[in-house]
Amino acid sequence: MKKTTINILLTIVIAGVIFSCDSDENKKGRFLLKGNEKMEENDPKGAMGFYKEALKMDSTYADAHYNKALAHLQLNQLTESIQDLSLAIKYKPDYYDAVFQRGLSYLDNGEFYNAREDGKKLIQLDGQNWKSHFFEGLVEEKLKNFPKALEAFGKASELNPKNSDLLVNQATILYYQKNFAAAQQALNEAMDVNPSEPNIHNLRSMIYFDEQNYEKALDAVDKAISLNKSQPYFYNNKGLYLLFLDRQEEGLELINQSIKMDAKNPFALRNKGIYYVMQGDKTSALQYLVELGRDYPDMDLVEEYLKKAQSL
């Protein structure tokens, strides 16, 4: 069941180049620009070649390390990206964008405590930037420090009150804390800012589901899907709600559709296990739920349906 995160656009650094002079400074800048052109053409491998040429001329060129890191990200090379971002920060310690991007990469790589250190750096570099507190919230959420996460998202929202995603992040933490009334209030505020944000409706559907109001949950997730048809979590959630509305085959079809879109979502695998429990298929149910019980023991419904599967 997917919460919202802010879509942070990776920013390629643009070098100022004076073409009338052929200094080394301008040559390395031209390599940077050529690399950027390749990135715009969706050719990160080609871009990396130009960034490497710039670094041959100046191994301390922080912008080239940063842009090279973004090329690695495009190629799903997370470790290499972190290495380049670290070099960019080494040669330019106040490089806010590099610290921010490295922190996000640490989060993606499961290195939450390294991410927390980068979060501290961001606040030191610019405590008035909403992204600093947003990032702090993401880290504390991953570490399950929900009060701190809620406080950080709140600070980010104060600095950027027109950002509906920040309100959805606050609502999500409140949802985790089972404070459904406060979560709904935060979603109402997000609706006032941006009623077309699909995650508002998806999270509202999750609250309705937990309140066992399955029809309202279905209506809300249908609204989310109407606004964004490419999000696998929405289809998985709809599939779950259909299971509980006694429309199991329709639900399974949507859960399978979600898995095709994102095979790594453990919630979809849980929902397949729930489907097989409802069908009385003990063997198939246990294939999903035993592993989930081991790897995600705190996931909602896993323990309950694992017990039901074992008693079939």
Encode pLDDT of 172-229 as tens digits.
Answer: 999 999 999 999 999 999 999 999 999 999 999 999 999 999 999 999 999 999 999 9
Q: How far is CA 128 from each of CA 123, 125, 156, 158, rounded to the nearest angstrom?
A: 8, 9, 9, 10
Q: How far is CA 225 from each of CA 70, 137, 196, 206, 262, rounded to the nearest angstrom?
A: 30, 27, 11, 14, 16
CATH topology of domain 13-93: 1.25.40
Encode pLDDT of 86-122 as tens digits.
Answer: 999 999 999 999 999 999 999 999 999 999 999 999 9
Checking if the pLDDT of 293 tops 50, the result is yes
Q: What is the DSSP string of 110-134?
A: T-HHHHHHHHHHHHHH-TT-HHHHH
- The secondary element (H helix, E strand) that includes residue 212 is none
pLDDT for res 26: 80
Encode pLDDT of 26-81 as tens digits.
Answer: 888 898 999 889 889 999 999 999 999 999 999 999 999 999 999 999 999 999 99
- Classify 178-229 by CATH class: mainly alpha
Tokens at residue 138, please? 């993401």
Checking if the pLDDT of 5 tops 70, the result is no
Residue 30's CB is within 10 A of a number of other CB atoms, namely 17
Q: Superfamily for 232-312?
A: Tetratricopeptide repeat domain (1.25.40.10)
Which residues of the chain does CATH 1.25.40.10 include? 13-93, 178-229, 232-312
Residue carrying the six token digits 């922190």: 103
Alpha helices per DSSP H over 22-95: 24-40, 44-57, 62-74, 78-91
Query: Rounded mean pLDDT of the chain?
Result: 92
In angstroms, rounded to a whole number, what is the distance separating the alpha carbons of residues 198 and 286?
A: 33
Rg (CA), the chain: 23
pLDDT for res 2: 47
Checking if the pLDDT of 301 tops 80, the result is yes
